[in-house]
Amino acid sequence: MKPTAVTWALVIFGAITLIPLIGAQFSMLVNPESRRTRDLIIGEGEEWRDATHRKMALGAAWADWLFFGPLFVAGSVGVLLGTTWGYVLFGAAGACSLYINIILWFTEKEYVYPSRGPLRYFTYYWGFFVYWGALALAYSALRVAGIEF
């Protein structure tokens, strides 16, 4: 399964979308109470709504660093090598991105959307993760099924 231009585009789009997230999550792991971390994770000048909000963000940071990030990296390497396992892992990373962002749509939209506005919300703060996740999952499933683009 030789990588195509679509494969490269999805890997690059994923990297552009996910590298800043992984950086913000690293800040959350290193210093969850710093002003910089709160600015990155919940918005400039914002505060944790309660202990559960902070704990959910910390749990997501651990999950991203221990599971999602490595899954994306391994999947990206695998698809660029043209392996079936790469497409399976890449699709799994896409499913993870889609899954958590469906949850975040319901739990965070009322807080993030007003402070960021529609353009930033439907691109980087929420949309890119959903768009990339759905595309990576669908593309990987089609490639594993033997369909080439």
Name residue, tokens 């890449």: 90
Pairwise pLDDT comparison (139 vs 44), residue with the higher score: 139
- Tens of pLDDT, residue by residue over 70-117, are 999 999 999 999 999 999 999 999 999 999 999 998 988 888 888 788
Residue 90 lies in a domain: yes
Exposure string of 63-92, with b = 16+ CB inside 10 Å and e = fewer, is ebeeebbebbbbbbebbeeeeeebbbbbbb
Amino acid symbol at 50: D
Residue 16 lies in a domain: yes
- Whole-number pLDDT of residue 45: 85
pLDDT given at position 73: 98
Domain total in the chain: 1
Q: pTM of the entire structure?
A: 0.91
pLDDT (mean) for 114-121: 85
Instruction: Give pLDDT, residue 108.
Output: 84
Q: Is residue 135 part of a domain?
A: yes
In the prediction, which pLDDT does 67 show? 97
With contact defined as beta carbons under 8 Å apart, do 24 and 106 qualify? no
pLDDT tens-digit profile of 20-61? 999 999 999 999 999 999 988 888 888 999 999 999 999 999
Question: Domain containing 125: what range?
Answer: 5-144
Residue 69 belongs to some domain of the structure: yes
149 is a domain residue:
no
